[in-house]
Amino acid sequence: MVELALGWGAFGKKVIVVSEDAKNDYLKKLIGQWPEIERAVTVLPGRGYKHLLTKSEATELRTSLGDKFKVLVHRDRDSLSDAEVVTLKDDYSSEGIRLWVTDQSDLEAEFCDPSFLSSLTGEPLGTCEAWIAEVLAQNQAPINEQFVSQRAAHNSELHKAGGGPTNDDVWASFQTRPLKGAKGKTVFKQLKNKVPGGKFSDTSVLGHTGFPERATSLKLNLQDLLA
């Protein structure tokens, strides 16, 4: 068990975060906001939501490690409705195990926020809001195509017998979200070209510190598991 834990970088940790994503730079960036939590957490990469660790697999992982660790499974919200997210979270509810679904579409969306952009670039909040609005307006076709594709996948996964919400209803509910139904990954990529002077990039985002707190629900979930 010690060898296994050391191999995963989990020695001395209390919570294993099993990510949906193979690359975890942005998840680790968010966890790094809270040094005390970060010291008690290790992150394992995943292979996409279709291969997401199931509740039974999470239970098996925890048991195989002698119940020494609690397990938080990360899944991107993508185009899931709020009701679907609640159902998915309830399916994972168990002692020492839970599912965390991103507040917005994905991890990258946390960094496509006007307050973060302003902190990163030094530009006024209004300018940063305008950049995001322009990206959304200029990319409506691919944004809609992604949404339709994701809804088809969610319906296949969660509503095989039918009865799921209509695309129109889900899309309408997303208009109160900061990115209005767009994927953070898409907006992030476009902002690299939109923000002048190369100030917005993977390197600059990952290297930036002192920004307003992001992903508070992640913090709350980890605090609860560590309590």
* 92-141 tens-digit pLDDT: 999 999 999 999 999 999 999 999 999 999 999 999 999 999 999 999 99
What sign has the CA pseudo-torsion 100, 104, 109, 112?
negative
What is the reported pTM?
0.93
The helix (H) or strand (E) run that includes residue 43 is strand 41-44
* 168-220 tens-digit pLDDT: 999 999 999 999 999 999 999 999 999 999 999 999 999 999 999 999 999 99
- What is the 8-class DSSP label of residue 54? P
- Rg over alpha carbons for the chain, rounded to the nearest Å, is 18
CA dihedral 58, 73, 182, 174 (to 10 degrees): 90
Residue 7, CA distances (Å) to 10, 20, 36, 52, 143 in order = 8, 20, 22, 21, 40
pLDDT at 66: 87
pLDDT at 7: 67
The helix (H) or strand (E) run that includes residue 100 is strand 97-101
* 2-50 tens-digit pLDDT: 556 666 667 778 999 999 988 999 999 999 999 999 999 999 888 887 8
pLDDT at 143: 97
Do 74 and 48 meet the contact criterion of CB atoms below 8 Å apart?
no
Mean pLDDT of 52-68: 91
